[in-house]
Homo-oligomer: A and B are copies of this chain.
Amino acid sequence: MTDQISPTEPAKPAKPTKGQRTRARVLDAAAELFSGSGFHAVSLRDIAARAGMTHAGLLHHFPGKEALLIEVLGRRDREDAHVIFRLDPDTEPRDFLAQLVGIAHRNMNTPGLVGLHAKISAEAADPEHPAHRYFVERYRLLRDRLTRAFAALAARTDPPGDYDPALTAQMLLAQMDGLQTQWLLEPDAVDMRAAMVAFFARLGLDFSDVPAFPNLHSGAPPEPPHHP
């Protein structure tokens, strides 16, 4: 449904199997519902229904609920944050950070996905949670990348930055997450982009001119359309 393909398939590397298409549809549905109510509060039947199936049919594609969750999370990474992970580690640090501002701003169009991240990351504090390892490693990676970016940037700016790169990386990540919590509760009370620009400003970095949408990946509409 999300990706409607015209009958006379034009030029695409490999047309997706029907199974692959339903798989994607299920993932869309799961992402939406997990986003709305967290992991535990959503049933396989809910997800299957939204995908136009029975929950048993769904289980034909995924071994279980947990597997579904980690695939949803993984796909979000591949879509949204491949900017962060895939980007050449030696990219110009300023560009790298600018991407983050852009992402923060863009997230303001996808409350569902933002909510997914917030809810699951909170639940995942429990080491038994299926997504625990995922989030631990995700934060490690992000902190590492950001630390290197800040270190490079501090050495490069005119009056060299006197901030601790590692600590600053942690603070920036924390602020991004915390802003999301507040913004989800009361969207009008929070401007995530402004807060991030202010954060950089206090480090002596001017990011006020970062475009709203830097060149993220090509497709992927802001949020998969609802079809209840």
A171 an interface residue at 8 Å Cβ cutoff?
yes
Across-interface contacts of A135 in B (CB, < 8 A):
185
Which residue from chain B places its CB closest to the CB of A41 in the assembled complex?
B40
A163 an interface residue at 8 Å Cβ cutoff?
yes
- Asked if A175 contacts B171 (CB within 8 A), the reply is yes
Q: Which of A77-85, A87-95, A196-204, A219-227 sits within the interface?
A: A196-204
Contact with B along A179-195 (1 / 0, CB 8 A): 10110111001100011
- Asked if A171 contacts B185 (CB within 8 A), the reply is no
A49 an interface residue at 8 Å Cβ cutoff?
no
Contact with B along A35-58 (1 / 0, CB 8 A): 011101100000000000000000
Interchain CA distance A136-B123 in the complex, whole Å = 20
Interchain CA distance A179-B121 in the complex, whole Å = 12
The total of chain A residues at the interface (CB under 8 A) is 47
Which listed residue (B126, B170, B199) contacts A36, Cβ 8 A? B126
- Asked if A139 contacts B186 (CB within 8 A), the reply is yes
- CB of A8 to closest CB in B, whole Å: 43
Which listed residue (B36, B40, B202) contacts A202, Cβ 8 A? B202
Interchain CA distance A198-B115 in the complex, whole Å = 28
A residues lining the B interface (CB < 8 Å): 36-38, 40-41, 111, 115, 118-119, 121-126, 132, 135-136, 139-140, 143, 163-164, 167-168, 170-171, 173-179, 181-182, 184-186, 189-190, 194-195, 198-199, 202-203
Query: Closest 4 interchain pairs by CB?
Result: A174-B178, A177-B178, A178-B178, A125-B184
* Subset of 14 A-B contacts with CB under 8 Å: A38-B40, A38-B122, A111-B125, A115-B122, A121-B185, A124-B185, A140-B189, A167-B195, A170-B179, A173-B182, A174-B175, A174-B179, A174-B182, A178-B178
Give 11 new A-B contacts, CB below 8 A, not counting A122-B184, A174-B179, A174-B181. A40-B40, A121-B122, A124-B185, A139-B185, A143-B189, A163-B198, A163-B202, A173-B182, A174-B182, A177-B182, A178-B178
